[in-house]
Structure 1
């Protein structure tokens, strides 16, 4: 796993913990309090899910442009660069699927049901906040990974850095022999 991906996943985990720590500020809730808070927070969490789906889908589509730019680069990028792009695509796809599943579950009208015991609302509320924190942290991790990859491409393609770890040394040697 590359340094960019490790750094991004660490940043996403820290962001998730910071967002999740807000639940501890609320303290222990009763079932009724959790139900009221759940009702008021569902629209915001649904909006978060929609934002994560839209943003992640856009990132995935724009990665095709990133690949074409990488391919057209005068200096050949080594396989590690393409592994980084593949990792971003994989994590981004997982994030999209997770956000869609969360969105579907959050749209079950659980607060309208008379069959759900009041004690469950506390658990459902904390799970909902946890899912929101994970989605937010995941999006931060994806954006951080993408930033690292784009910064490397700018260094290599735009600024012509040839001693970068992602530049294929074999390609440089072949070019100097010609």
Structure 2
């Protein structure tokens, strides 16, 4: 019985460490991180979750058209881009099968975009992000490139981006 309990504890601890291990190896975080502060409780209300001394889970923001914004690292900054802002970002983008199709990290140079000239997912998602934060955006096809083939991105693709909002340039 004692060995069986140890085995179950080991399996449970490995399962819990999985997302942390993936994040530390440079991968995207598949689940929202645990942070101090506010969260959404089981009743759906926003507020402290659990005892005051325990951390709460930062839940993803679900935006228009099914865009999901997962906080990876939140800054204390209050500045957020507007719809016509020029932003400086580091980012990488993946297809659903895990194929990376673009990365400013790989090029070693942050990218600068006018937000109103990006895909709708970025336009909507990044307006909810404070400067200095890193988020994961999950973009349904209608908020990405729809039924168009763009480079190695097939038509109808759901895209995932990890975006580090470095600066608002205007």
Higher helix share: 1
Larger radius of gyration: 1
Higher relative contact order (CA 8 A, sep 6+): 1
Name the TM-score, length of structure 1 as normaliser. Answer: 0.23
Higher strand share: 2
